[in-house]
Structure 1
Amino acid sequence: MNSKSLGLIVLRERKAQKLRQAELAAAAGVGIRFIVDLEAGKPTLQLEKVLHVLATLGCDVTIVPPAGDI
Protein backbone atom coordinates (compact mmCIF):
# COMPACT_ATOMS: atom_id res chain seq x y z
CA MET A 1 0.00 0.00 0.00
CA ASN A 2 1.21 3.48 -0.83
CA SER A 3 -0.36 6.89 -1.29
CA LYS A 4 -1.04 6.30 -4.99
CA SER A 5 -2.90 3.03 -4.41
CA LEU A 6 -4.85 4.56 -1.52
CA GLY A 7 -5.86 7.46 -3.75
CA LEU A 8 -7.05 5.03 -6.41
CA ILE A 9 -9.19 3.21 -3.83
CA VAL A 10 -10.78 6.51 -2.79
CA LEU A 11 -11.38 7.50 -6.42
CA ARG A 12 -12.97 4.17 -7.33
CA GLU A 13 -15.18 4.06 -4.25
CA ARG A 14 -16.30 7.67 -4.71
CA LYS A 15 -17.28 6.94 -8.31
CA ALA A 16 -18.98 3.67 -7.30
CA GLN A 17 -21.11 5.70 -4.90
CA LYS A 18 -21.79 8.23 -7.68
CA LEU A 19 -20.39 11.11 -5.66
CA ARG A 20 -18.69 14.18 -7.06
CA GLN A 21 -15.49 15.33 -5.40
CA ALA A 22 -17.34 18.32 -3.97
CA GLU A 23 -20.04 16.08 -2.51
CA LEU A 24 -17.51 13.81 -0.83
CA ALA A 25 -15.58 16.81 0.46
CA ALA A 26 -18.73 18.30 1.99
CA ALA A 27 -19.79 15.00 3.56
CA ALA A 28 -16.31 14.45 5.04
CA GLY A 29 -15.84 18.05 6.16
CA VAL A 30 -12.74 18.66 4.07
CA GLY A 31 -11.99 20.90 1.11
CA ILE A 32 -12.31 19.83 -2.51
CA ARG A 33 -8.55 20.36 -2.91
CA PHE A 34 -7.96 17.74 -0.20
CA ILE A 35 -10.04 15.17 -2.14
CA VAL A 36 -8.22 16.04 -5.37
CA ASP A 37 -4.84 15.61 -3.66
CA LEU A 38 -5.90 12.39 -1.92
CA GLU A 39 -7.11 10.81 -5.16
CA ALA A 40 -3.89 11.90 -6.87
CA GLY A 41 -1.86 10.08 -4.22
CA LYS A 42 -0.24 13.07 -2.55
CA PRO A 43 1.93 11.52 0.19
CA THR A 44 1.89 14.39 2.68
CA LEU A 45 -1.80 14.65 3.58
CA GLN A 46 -3.01 14.75 7.17
CA LEU A 47 -3.70 11.22 8.37
CA GLU A 48 -6.74 12.14 10.47
CA LYS A 49 -8.44 13.73 7.46
CA VAL A 50 -7.59 10.76 5.24
CA LEU A 51 -9.10 8.39 7.80
CA HIS A 52 -12.21 10.57 8.02
CA VAL A 53 -12.69 10.51 4.23
CA LEU A 54 -12.28 6.73 4.22
CA ALA A 55 -14.85 6.39 7.01
CA THR A 56 -17.23 8.68 5.12
CA LEU A 57 -16.98 6.31 2.16
CA GLY A 58 -17.63 3.35 4.45
CA CYS A 59 -14.13 1.93 4.07
CA ASP A 60 -12.45 -0.01 6.86
CA VAL A 61 -8.75 0.38 7.60
CA THR A 62 -6.91 -2.63 8.95
CA ILE A 63 -3.30 -2.63 10.09
CA VAL A 64 -1.64 -6.00 10.48
CA PRO A 65 1.57 -5.97 12.51
CA PRO A 66 4.49 -8.12 11.39
CA ALA A 67 4.33 -11.76 12.47
CA GLY A 68 5.48 -12.24 16.06
CA ASP A 69 4.60 -8.69 17.17
CA ILE A 70 1.86 -8.14 19.71
Structure 2
Amino acid sequence: MDSTSLGLIVRRERKAQKLKQAELAAVSGVGIRFIVDLEAGKPTLQLEKVLRVITTLGCDIAITPPTGGA
Protein backbone atom coordinates (compact mmCIF):
# COMPACT_ATOMS: atom_id res chain seq x y z
CA MET A 1 0.00 0.00 0.00
CA ASP A 2 1.25 3.45 -0.87
CA SER A 3 -0.28 6.92 -1.16
CA THR A 4 -1.16 6.39 -4.82
CA SER A 5 -3.02 3.15 -4.06
CA LEU A 6 -4.87 4.81 -1.19
CA GLY A 7 -5.86 7.70 -3.43
CA LEU A 8 -7.27 5.32 -6.03
CA ILE A 9 -9.31 3.52 -3.38
CA VAL A 10 -10.71 6.83 -2.10
CA ARG A 11 -11.59 7.95 -5.64
CA ARG A 12 -13.25 4.62 -6.47
CA GLU A 13 -15.32 4.63 -3.29
CA ARG A 14 -16.32 8.30 -3.69
CA LYS A 15 -17.54 7.60 -7.22
CA ALA A 16 -19.33 4.42 -6.10
CA GLN A 17 -21.22 6.56 -3.58
CA LYS A 18 -21.98 9.09 -6.34
CA LEU A 19 -20.28 11.92 -4.48
CA LYS A 20 -18.52 14.83 -6.14
CA GLN A 21 -15.16 15.88 -4.72
CA ALA A 22 -16.71 19.06 -3.32
CA GLU A 23 -19.47 17.07 -1.62
CA LEU A 24 -17.01 14.67 0.01
CA ALA A 25 -14.88 17.61 1.12
CA ALA A 26 -17.88 19.33 2.71
CA VAL A 27 -19.13 16.32 4.65
CA SER A 28 -15.57 15.41 5.72
CA GLY A 29 -14.73 18.90 6.91
CA VAL A 30 -11.75 19.31 4.60
CA GLY A 31 -11.10 21.48 1.57
CA ILE A 32 -11.71 20.35 -1.98
CA ARG A 33 -7.97 20.75 -2.70
CA PHE A 34 -7.31 18.18 0.02
CA ILE A 35 -9.59 15.65 -1.71
CA VAL A 36 -7.91 16.35 -5.06
CA ASP A 37 -4.47 15.83 -3.51
CA LEU A 38 -5.57 12.70 -1.64
CA GLU A 39 -6.99 11.10 -4.78
CA ALA A 40 -3.81 12.03 -6.67
CA GLY A 41 -1.73 10.17 -4.10
CA LYS A 42 0.10 13.13 -2.57
CA PRO A 43 2.30 11.52 0.10
CA THR A 44 2.54 14.47 2.51
CA LEU A 45 -1.08 14.94 3.55
CA GLN A 46 -2.13 15.24 7.20
CA LEU A 47 -2.95 11.81 8.58
CA GLU A 48 -5.86 13.03 10.72
CA LYS A 49 -7.60 14.50 7.67
CA VAL A 50 -6.95 11.38 5.59
CA LEU A 51 -8.51 9.25 8.32
CA ARG A 52 -11.50 11.62 8.52
CA VAL A 53 -12.18 11.25 4.78
CA ILE A 54 -11.80 7.47 4.93
CA THR A 55 -14.18 7.28 7.88
CA THR A 56 -16.68 9.53 6.11
CA LEU A 57 -16.70 7.09 3.19
CA GLY A 58 -17.39 4.23 5.61
CA CYS A 59 -14.03 2.57 4.98
CA ASP A 60 -11.63 1.09 7.51
CA ILE A 61 -7.87 0.77 7.61
CA ALA A 62 -6.37 -2.41 9.03
CA ILE A 63 -2.78 -2.51 10.23
CA THR A 64 -1.28 -5.96 10.57
CA PRO A 65 1.91 -6.31 12.57
CA PRO A 66 4.71 -8.21 10.90
CA THR A 67 4.95 -11.90 11.61
CA GLY A 68 8.07 -13.41 13.01
CA GLY A 69 10.25 -13.09 16.05
CA ALA A 70 10.76 -10.00 18.09
TM-score category of the 2 structures, normalised to the smaller one: over 0.9
| AA in 2 matched with 1:21 | Q
CA RMSD of aligned residues (A): 1.3
| AA in 2 matched with 1:64 | T
Output one character per residue of 1:38-68: Cα deviation in whole Å (capped at 9) or x when no partner. Answer: 0000000000000000000000110001014
Give how far 1:69 is off.
6.8
Map of 1:65 onto structure 2: 65
TM-score (normalizing by structure 1): 0.96
Output one character per residue of 1:18-57: Cα deviation in whole Å (capped at 9) or x when no partner. Answer: 0000000000000000000000000000000000000000
Identical amino acids, percent of aligned pairs: 79
Query: Which aligned runs of 4 or more in structure 1 are off by greater than 2 angstroms?
Result: none
CA distance in 2, matches of 1:8, 1:21: 13
CA distance in 2, matches of 1:36, 1:47: 15
**Structure 1 unmatched ranges of 5 or more:** none
TM-score (normalizing by structure 2): 0.96
Q: Count residues with an aligned counterpart.
A: 70
